[in-house]
Chains A and B, each alone.
Chain A
Amino acid sequence: MTLLLQTCAACGAVQYPRRAVCRTCLSDRLEDRPQPAGATLLARAAICVSFNEDWASRLPVAAGTVLLDAGVQAIVLLEADPAAGARTTVRWQRDGEEPARLIATTMEEGA
């Protein structure tokens, strides 16, 4: 499985969040490329209070920090309650007009 992420065509460094120039070599030759979608869950939390009332009906929301195999960390929504240290698969979730979000699900055994 792959995950589309901004990547530097000059040095190969993956960028997240998206940048105007490469975080490593400062090149502006940045393009979206499929990267490995595997990640390790490093930390997790449960959002019980949100500053945006649009989230009220969805609380509590499980979120975490994953270290992507592609070499960057990301804050993601968690699906299926993985434990810290678990291997996960990360994908982009697009929900109508809302911004695309990263969502991590527990990696299947042998995946």
Chain B
Amino acid sequence: MTALGYHGVAVACPVTVRYARHSTQSAHWFIGRALADLLAASGIDKAAVDGLAVSSFTLGSDTTVALTEHFEMSPRWIEWLPTGGASGVIALRRAARAIQSGDANIIACIAGDTNDPASFADLIGNFSSFSSAAVHPYGAAGPNLPFALITDHYMRSYGAERADFGRIAVAQRANAQSNPNALFAGKPLDLETYLAARPVVPPLHLFDCVMPCAGAEAFLMMSEAMARQLGLGHATIRGSIERHNAYFADPVAVRGGWAMDRDDLYGQAEATPADMDCVQTYDDYPVIVAMQFEDLGFCNKGEAPALLRTHDLTIAGDLPHNTSGGQLSCGQAGAAGGFLPVVEALRQVTGQTLGDRVPDARLALASGYGMVNFDRCLCSAAVILEGWA
């Protein structure tokens, strides 16, 4: 049975609730404010929103259904995305099918998290059964340890140097300068500073690591017909993929699930990597950005360093990448980090950016990667959006 396309589905109303390094507000507050902003941006009544998809790490014992009562809604479709950094793409995929089937007409997709000083340490100490058993007892370094090992292995395997990863961080920092939401706007970064930064879990140093923060990202899903009727700038979905626990026989991760399914992605979209006007990758660590460029077909395995040396990843460059600044320069607002690529892609192709826009951006690739269960993230996903401003 071949997969249905995404005909007739619209993605609209990119919303960002301002990031804060720490907050005394709850995740419920961030998600609730995102919902309020979606309604204000769209002119839609809360009662008309009949679908709700949520991702969060700091709702405690609450999930999407608790929020239906918190926000006094009676949706006929809900989804809970425990897929971390892949949650934006996966929420979009789930919601698209609900719209197509008529199970819901207007779906709010929201990711939000708070961040108080103790919450991140608590989160990483109890993140999964496998990490509690087989990673946390080894230095309690959180995801920095597995990704330092992935980075070390990648460098060794393909001859990459720290400066290759530094180029990613530096370009993203440049992109963040025009984004008022980026926690590192106003704090430029050059390669020398990147290289000299203090070690965290070498080969990872300070600017290889995201800053956990509080915030939310959100969008609405509805039919194209409704989006036009409401006069909402929107995107359509040219193609999307997801995969979990790809390549589990690789003893150290060198590739993610996108490599298994990228031909399907570009086949659905009838497009190639060269057609993308911008690329929004999930940037928990620069090595994973490199892997996404490779596994999403921009270059061969191990050749991302060469790609990065010969292209300009800034907004005005020839390969605009993480145009918001990405998590490395905005901050990682928990699960909202998994929505950031989708929301920024939507912003770029609909001309609703917080910062500078890629000129005439029409096609955007957004990628997701999430849930470090043991020694690698298990979820990978990607979507190609086409803008109809």
Contacts and interface: CB of A to CB of B under 8 A. Distances in A.
Given A48-B199, A64-B149, A73 B375 contact: yes
B139 A73 contact: no
A50 B140 contact: yes
B361 to A, nearest CB: 38
Contacts of B149: 43-45, 63-65, 75
A45 B124 contact: no
B204 interface: yes
A17 interface: yes
A45 B203 contact: yes
Contacts of A65: 149, 153, 251-252, 375
B150 A43 contact: yes
A54 B130 CA distance: 21
Contacts, number: 96
B124 A48 contact: no
Contact of A17 (B130, B145, B148, B252): B130
B156 interface: yes
A93 B202 CA distance: 24
B121 interface: yes
B192 to A, nearest CB: 21
A50 B141 contact: yes
B17 to A, nearest CB: 26
A73 B152 contact: no
Contacts of A51: 120-121, 124-125, 140-142
Nearest to A16: B134
B251 A67 contact: yes
Given A17-B134, A75-B146, A45 B251 contact: no
Given A51-B124, A65-B153, A84-B156, A45 B148 contact: yes
Contacts of B137: 98-99, 101
B144 interface: yes
Interface in A36-65: 42-52, 54-55, 59, 61, 63-65
A43 B138 contact: no
B205 to A, nearest CB: 9
Contacts of A90: none
A54 B348 CA distance: 46
B133 interface: yes
A45 B145 contact: yes
Nearest to B149: A43
B139 A63 contact: yes
A43 B252 contact: yes
A48 B144 CA distance: 10
Interface in B169-202: 198-202
A29 interface: no
Contacts of B374: 17
B204 A45 contact: yes
B199 A44 contact: no
B126 to A, nearest CB: 11
A84 B198 CA distance: 23
A75 B375 contact: yes
B206 to A, nearest CB: 9
B159 to A, nearest CB: 13
Contacts of A98: 137
A99 B199 CA distance: 27
Interface of A: 16-18, 42-52, 54-55, 59, 61, 63-65, 67, 73-77, 84, 98-99, 101
27 contacts: A17-B130, A43-B150, A43-B152, A43-B153, A43-B156, A43-B252, A45-B145, A45-B148, A45-B202, A45-B203, A47-B145, A47-B201, A48-B198, A48-B199, A49-B200, A51-B124, A63-B139, A65-B153, A65-B251, A73-B251, A73-B252, A73-B375, A74-B134, A75-B375, A84-B156, A101-B137, A101-B138
Given A45-B201, A65-B153, 11 more contacts: A43-B156, A45-B151, A45-B152, A45-B202, A47-B141, A49-B144, A51-B140, A51-B141, A51-B142, A63-B149, A65-B149
